[in-house]
Every structure is written in structure tokens, then in C-alpha cells.
Amino acid sequence: MQVLEADTGGITENEARLIELIVSGAREDKEHKTAPAKKDDESRSIQFGEWIQERLEQGDTLKEVPESLALKPRLQTPMLPFMLSWENRAVQGVTFPKLYKLLRSYFGGDLLLIPLKESWLILVSEALLNDLREESEEGADTERDLLSALCQGLYELISNEWVGGGCHLSVHELITGDRDIAGAALSLQETLRIGHLFHVAEHIHLPWELRLERLVCSIPDEERGRFLAEMGGAAGIFSDEEMLTTLETFFQMDCNVSETAKRLYIHRNTLMYRIDKIKQETGLDVRTFRDAVLMNLQLLLYKVTKKA
């Protein structure tokens, strides 16, 4: 950087205008030089996204990234994948440059933003997470808490930027090479689909919290229908919005009656009345472990069967 100083008292009006023109011209020249580079970054990301999308559609997620893709050299270090999608695909103002800039401001460093057909794949270098890891204790639960907190902060940032967009977010475990990227993208898509299917009101979907839901989705349709038919009386409970919300909240609160009543803003006795009503109609007392497991399983099967 070069700095030129001059006493303003010795500069004429014409000279001042000339200086302004020179500075303005230099600024425009710089913008013209940097714009193509940014455009090239977007083009490379689009090309890589098309390759990933092709792998997903063909069900071939184990292929190594070909040398012909310009981003391959940047995929050799451990990375943390996120996936972002919107309920409304035509959310106004969501462009590659704007989203990339927002993500860089959040993660505080370089990253890869890959556009897919119905979502965005975000690859963050593990190096950006080291400082956060050092501040937290070791252990699997702590690591998951860290990832959950990252998702929560990112969701709030994006939601504030694009109000009303209805975005959904998920995160995958750390991947160590480019051969894992397509598989991670497939897993993230599945996590978003299952999370949105079973937990419509939530926007952050974490794979380690959806293991039971994933198992339920793997049950054949015929078996799901047979199980629900054998259980019988639960259908009436699930079709009642108030009772359905009560059950969902009860399970979210780990079957804690007091916490469930607080979350629902109802008296404890009102909750007990609803629980007794569920027992009368289904024969299951959700205050006991075995019956709570059966009822929760029925609820999950009902949701996936209803949406099928």
C-alpha cells in the first residue's frame, strides 16, 4: 500500500477533482479484476454440485472426486458438512454470493458452499473448529453439544437474514476425504427428510436424535399397517390434535408429568386427565416404561404411514 500526503491548503479545486477521479478509477478497476475471480468460485462450486447430484441420483456415493474438478485439491483435509434447505424453494434474495458471505462471517474463515438441486451443502474446515474444541471438554456428548450449538447459531443467523423462508439445517460427523463427500450429502438429505417428517415444528435435525425414527422408516409398509391395526384404539387419540400434542410433548419431556404440564401451560390435573383418557382408549399407561415405548412407537408409525 502506498500513501501520498499533501497539505489541503495547497491543493486547488481542479486538482482535488482530479484526485477524486483517479481514486474512483482505481477502485472501479479493482472491482473489475476481483469480480471474475468470485464468479469463477461460484462456477467451480456449481460444477462440483452437479457431480454430487449425479452421484446421489445414481446411488453411487463411493466414487472419488475426479481430477477434472477444480475444487478437488481443497477437499483433502478433514471437513465438517452441513446441509441447508428451505421449505419455500423460491426464497427471495438467497444467492450464492450473499449466502457465502453470511456463512464466512459466522464461521470466521474459508469454507465451501456447494449448491445442489434442492439444498446447499456447506463444507467447513476442521481447523475452524479447533478453537471451539479447546474451549470445551472432551467426550462424544460434548462434541455433539458443540455441533448442536453451531447449528442453532447458524439457523438463527440465516432466519434473521431471510425472514419467513422456513429453512432447515442438519450436520454430519467429520469426514476425512473427498471419497466421503457424496455419502455425507446423502446422509444429510435423509436426516432432513426424516426430521421434517416426524418433527414438523423443528428446523434443526440432528442424526443422533433420529435413530428410532430412521428405524421406523425402514419397516416395510405392510408390517407398519399390521402393527397399527393390532394396536387399534390409538388412531382416535392421534386424530385429536390436543391429545396428539400432549403425547408428543410428554415424550419430549422424557415422560415427566410436571415438566410436560409446564410446557403445555396446563394444570397438572388436566394432564393427568388426558393421560387417563389415553389409557382408557388404548389400554396403555404412558407413565410406565413399557407402555410409553409402545405408544411412542405407534405414534412414529402413524406419522410415517400418514405421510406415505
Judge whether residue 167 has pLDDT over 70. Answer: yes
190 and 282 share a domain? no
Any domain includes 240: yes
201 and 59 share a domain? yes
Q: Tens digits of per-residue pLDDT, 8-48?
A: 667 776 677 667 767 766 665 554 444 455 668 899 999 99
State which of 198, 214, 230 marks the end of a domain. Answer: 214
Q: What is the mean pLDDT of residues 283-296?
A: 92
151 and 293 share a domain? no
- What's the CA gap between 253 and 73, in Å, rounded? 46
148 and 195 share a domain? yes
Any domain includes 72: yes
pLDDT of amino acid 60: 87
Q: What is the mean pLDDT of residues 160-178?
A: 85
Q: Tens digits of per-residue pLDDT, 60-76?
A: 888 888 888 989 888 88
pLDDT of amino acid 179: 86
Judge whether residue 288 has pLDDT over 60. Answer: yes
pLDDT of amino acid 227: 82
Any domain includes 297: yes
DSSP per position, 156-197: HHHHHHSTT--EEEEE---B-SGGGHHHHHHHHHHHHHHHHH
274 and 226 share a domain? yes
State which of 214, 235, 269 marks the end of a domain. Answer: 214
166-199: string of b/e by CB count within 10 Å (b at 16+)?
A: ebbbbbbebbeebebbbbbbbbbbbbbebbbbbb
User: What's the count of helices (H) and strands (E) in the chain, helices before strands?
Assistant: 12, 5
149 and 126 share a domain? yes
pLDDT of amino acid 34: 45
Confidence of residue 222 (pLDDT cuts 50, 70, 90): confident
- What's the CA gap between 209 and 213, in Å, rounded? 9
Any domain includes 4: no
What is the domain range of residue 261?
A: 220-307
CATH of the domain at 235: 1.10.10.2840
Q: Among residues of the chain, what percentage have pLDDT more than 90?
A: 43
Whether 302 contacts 200, CB under 8 Å: no
pTM as predicted? 0.76
Q: What is the mean pLDDT of residues 260-283?
A: 93
185 and 95 share a domain? yes
Q: What is the mean pLDDT of residues 176-188?
A: 91
